[in-house]
Amino acid sequence: MVDSISRMDIAFSIGANLGNRHAALAHAIKRLTDKIPDLICSSVYETEPVGYTDQPTFLNCACIGSTGLPIDDIYALIQDIHNELSRKSRPRWHEREIDVDILIYGSQIIDTETIVIPHPRMHQRAFVLKPLSEIAPSMMHPLFNSSMLDLFERCEDEAAVEFNCTAEHLLYE
């Protein structure tokens, strides 16, 4: 007997500011699409670093899809992507070869040593909210009961988030 697994919406933020940033984002998106075939990606944005600012600018995008995969499987996939792109361990908010974060996993609230969902600072980050509100403006934040567009419009983060390219350009260049 096969248990039916309920599907839920999932949202990711992907960023890189070292090496070939376009290629890193494209690789991460392709790997996520292997497990989440209906993945939709936002435009790619050039963004100022937040926290530690003495570093190169980032490329960031957001992706959404629907999955029946358990959160631990998704987390393992992200760790595989980080390893494939040779992500180095650095202090929080420092340079990244790649950074894939789970923002939303349905209406689930998860708080473990390794996984916190919804992402605890997403509502404070224009580089997360601008691309996410582009592709999922009505997606609701499970703690704030606000849409992504509403959170973006109320976000006080003034760091620059400028259009770089479309996701299609990124994936097919």
Residues 113-161 pLDDT 10s: 999 999 999 999 999 999 999 999 999 999 999 999 999 999 999 999 9
pLDDT tier at 50, thresholds 50, 70, 90: confident
Options 96, 125, 150, 157, the catalytic residue: 96
Report the Cα–Cα distance between both ends of the chain, in Å, rounded.
45
Residue 40 structure tokens:
């939709």
Is 3 among the residues known to form the active site? no
Nearest-angstrom CA–CA distance, 133 and 53: 25
Is 96 among the residues known to form the active site? yes
Options 21, 99, 150, 157, the catalytic residue: 99
Q: Spelled out in words, what is the top-level CATH class assigned to the domain 8-172?
A: alpha beta
68, 66, 78, 120 alpha-carbon torsion, rounded to 10°: -110
Options 3, 38, 54, 101, the catalytic residue: 101
pLDDT at 109 over 50: yes
Give the residue extent of every domain in the chain: 8-172
Nearest-angstrom CA–CA distance, 118 and 141: 7
| Cα angle value 13/8/58 (rounded, 5°) | 5
Options 9, 38, 72, 87, the catalytic residue: 87
What is the reported pLDDT for 5? 58
Residue 1 structure tokens:
């007997």
Average pLDDT on 157-173 reads 89
What is the reported pLDDT for 2? 41
Helix/strand/coil for 68: coil
pLDDT at 173 over 80: no
Residue 169 structure tokens:
């350009």
pLDDT tier at 3, thresholds 50, 70, 90: very low
Mean pLDDT of the chain: 94
Is 21 among the residues known to form the active site? no
